[in-house]
A and B are shown apart, each in its own frame.
With several copies, the nearest count.
Chain A
Amino acid sequence: MFKRVLIANRGEIAVRVIRACRELGIETVAVYSDADRSALHVQYADHAYPIGPAPSSESYLVIEKILDVAQQSGADAIHPGYGFLSERAPFSRACSEAGITFIGPQPEAIEKMGDKVTARAIMQEANVPVVPGTDVLGDENEVIAAAEKIGFPVMFKASAGGGGKGMRLVEKKEDALSALRGVRSEAQSSFGDDRMYMEKFVEKPRHVEVQVLGDMHGNIIHLYERECSLQRRHQKVIEESPSTAINQDVREQMGKVAVEAAKAVNYVGAGTVEFLVDAQQNFYFLEMNTRIQVEHPITELVTGVDLVKAQIEIATGEPLAIQQPAVQQRGWAIECRIYAEDPARDFFPSPGKIQILRTPGGYGVRDDSGVYEGWEVPIHYDPMISKLCAYGRTRDEAIQRMLRALQEYTVEGIITNIPFHRWALTHPRFVSGDLDTGFIPQEYRGLPEEEDHLRHEIILVAAALAAYHKDKELAQSVSSPQGSPGNVSAWRATGWREGVR
């Protein structure tokens, strides 16, 4: 087992990895940018090293700085989390060259899966179903011809794309040329690579992904699926496991296909094979994420397997601790990503100081938080402050438990999307499992107005009482300037209001 692991990340995933290490008796090394000196992951780690200015391009993304700290701190392995350097083959390679274990797949697997066109070809070779589409396309004529052959609607996709960038839906021939220019320029500016290809657009698609684990001894297993159809701007918002999109036959088949996909690149570590599923439960390979996924906790809740620990054990060369037949789904788990954003104002980001934080507890509730009361959520990183998961014996129980947990979850000082989650979880289409990736744009028209007389009364009563006490306090301090302030009720609240907009 490793002696000391460096976590090349921040926020909740850094805390998640630190917890796994602690449970394995491994020391942890945190790295932090100037904006993160007071961040939670720095507190939780045994060791902590500064790595530069707030922008991640000058800190968390700088391979040399991470490796320097690894060497200084005596770390024998690096866990990259997700995002940042987690899917950069050069980083994986640089780790090996520095004699430090990269907790993740080999650079070759990252490279193969990182290039969409290569991945597609490998998958076709391995008989993994892919969305009908093309190889890399050349000039405009070739693009138009390919689109007509596949049949509109089609998706134009950047070959180096990912995370929702460099994609465009083209509904009819007339739109093709401007879409082509758009994708190429976005691909060039975002990835430095303007190659693109094309896929058939799957209508009412659902996003279902399969978790896999592979060890260094050639064993690869899957841990069933997660459904991530609830997305906004291609960012997942709510995930669940199992999926309501597929029946048990398709589920088993999809698991087998995911294992085949991973085998095709001799995959080692934790990875996720993403599929598009259509209304007939046909599924098509979309891409493979060669890292731990944000939404991994719901798989842990349903299968009972600690995926981050599995990653670490695999990286030490241990064979998988669990075999395929022992992997069983039990119950249902849902994850709501708690974002610092305002669902009432087009999801504008809402960084700032968390003045009040009360997290839910009790049975079946899991909170993976990256923040604490009193911390100022910085503007430099993504707005996810926590992942709230609910587990239940049935999907209905998981939904009801999540609603209960959301009700207990109090965050003040910044605005969060908690009210959005409540809206989504009570939407008839969500309740019935009738989802697709267009759900939010189709259904969300802002938060419902709740005209509630009782609610208004409580708000008014609370404000009036606070005002009354403020006045009383003022009156007393005037009449007895030497009076101890401790004798006065402290109804008057200060400070928190500073952070309220």
Chain B
Amino acid sequence: MAYKATLGDQTYTISVHELDEHQYKIVIDAEEHIIDGRQLTGHMYSLIVENKSFTVDVAEKDDEYTVAYEGKSFQVGVLDERKARRGGAGADLGGAGEKEVCSMMPGKVVELLVQAGDAVEKDQGVIIIEAMKMENEIRAAVAGTVKAVHVEAGQAVESGELLIELE
């Protein structure tokens, strides 16, 4: 199988060949690796690559893979080549995302620092969310004007919930 994988701002061409039980040849942009890969339990996998031992956790959702290794998580978009040609998920989120101020965590709205119609600068604090006894100021990623405020003070919000739209 051949895939296009995206990690950070790089895209890689990857092919996977099953050689034997638990044995794979994986070619990443022409670089070839022979892998002994085992699922140990749940999301935990052991990979032995050229006699180096790695333990990773892998989870998948909608062609986006989260790989956790040595205390850090990495997002990898993986599409098979046909999908990749059609332009599947993971391509990009479009510029629109930056104009949407979303909550970075579940919590409670403590204070709104702007209202509809206000002009905001890049990095200006627009709303304060409290979670885990800490007040956290969320800032605008771009300059603009507040188009809509979707929450009010005291309201509980989920992680990723849209709080404020800019235009």
Asked if the two chains touch in their complex, CB atoms less than 8 Å apart, one says yes
A contact residues vs B (CB 8 Å cutoff): 30, 37-38, 42-49, 72-73, 340-342, 345-346, 348-352, 355-356, 372-375, 379-383, 406-407, 409-410, 412, 415, 418-419, 422, 454-468, 470-471, 489-498, 500-501
Residues of A within 8 A of B60 (CB): 466-467, 470, 492-494, 497
Give B53 Cβ to nearest chain A Cβ, in Å: 4
- In the bound complex, how far is the Cα of B56 from the Cα of A454, in angstroms? 14
Partner of A349, one of B33, B61, B68, B132: B132
The answer on a CB contact under 8 Å between B65 and A466 is yes
Q: Return the contact of B78 from the options A44, A345, A464, A500 (Cβ within 8 A).
A: A464
Residues of A within 8 A of B107 (CB): 349, 351, 379
Report which B residues bind A (CB closer than 8 A): 1, 3, 5, 7, 12, 14, 16, 18, 22, 24, 26, 28, 31, 33, 35-49, 51-61, 63-74, 76, 78, 80, 104-108, 131-134, 136, 159-160
Q: Are A461 and B39 in contact, CB atoms less than 8 angstroms apart?
A: no
- Across the interface, do A356 and B35 meet the contact criterion of CB distance under 8 Å? no
Q: Is the CB of B59 within 8 A of A73?
A: no
Are B57 and A412 in touch, CB under 8 angstroms? yes
- Whether A407 contacts B70 in the complex (CB less than 8 A), given A42-B46, A500-B59, comes out as yes
Q: Give the docked Cα–Cα distance between A30 and B71 (Å).
A: 22
In the complex the two chains form, is A73's CB within 8 Å of B41's CB?
Answer: no
Most buried by A among B12, B35, B53, B73: B53
A496 touches B78 (CB 8 A): no
Q: Number of residue pairs across A and B with beta carbons under 8 Å?
A: 214
Additional A-B contacts beyond A38-B40, A379-B131, A467-B16 (5; CB < 8 A):
A454-B52, A457-B49, A463-B65, A465-B47, A496-B66
Contact of A381 among B5, B7, B35, B132 (CB under 8 A): B132
Q: Could you tell me the dominant secondary structure of chain A's interface residues?
A: mixed
Shortest 9 CB-CB distances between A and B: which pairs? A374-B41, A497-B59, A463-B76, A497-B61, A496-B59, A463-B65, A383-B132, A349-B132, A468-B16
- Given A351-B131, A352-B159, does the pair A461, B71 have CB atoms closer than 8 Å? no
* Interface residue from A38, A72, A464, A495 paired with B16 (Cβ < 8 Å): A464
B66 to chain A, nearest CB (A): 5
Residues in A neighbouring B31, C-beta threshold 8 A? 457
Query: Beyond A462-B56, A467-B65, is A406–B71 a contact (Cβ under 8 Å)?
Result: yes
CB distance from A88 to the nearest CB of B (A): 17
**Contacting pair B106 A352 (CB below 8 A):** yes
Shortest CB–CB separation between residue B76 and chain A, in angstroms? 4
Using known A-B contacts A463-B58, A496-B43, determine if residue A30 contacts B105 with beta carbons closer than 8 Å: no
Residues of chain B within 8 A (CB-CB) of A494 are 59-61
Query: Would you give 11 A-B contacts (Cβ < 8 Å), ordered by A?
Result: A346-B136, A356-B68, A410-B57, A457-B33, A460-B12, A464-B3, A465-B26, A466-B58, A466-B78, A468-B16, A497-B61
Give complex CA distance A418, B5 in Å.
Answer: 28
Q: Which residue of chain A has the shortest Cβ distance to B133 in the bound complex? A: A382
Q: A381 touching B69 by the CB < 8 A rule?
A: no
Closest approach, in angstroms, between the C-beta of A450 and any C-beta of chain B?
8
Q: Which residue of A lies closest to B37 (CB)?
A: A465
Query: Are the C-beta atoms of B39 and A489 separated by less than 8 Å?
Result: yes
Taking each of A373, A409, A465, A500, which has the highest tally of chain B beta carbons within 10 Å of its own beta carbon? A465
Knowing A462-B67, A463-B58 are in contact, say whether A356-B134 is a contact too (CB < 8 A).
no
A459: which of B46, B55, B67, B160 is its contact (CB, 8 Å)?
A: B67
**Smallest beta-carbon distance B121→chain A, Å:** 18
Given the complex of chains A and B, what is the CA–CA distance between A349 and B130 in angstroms?
A: 9
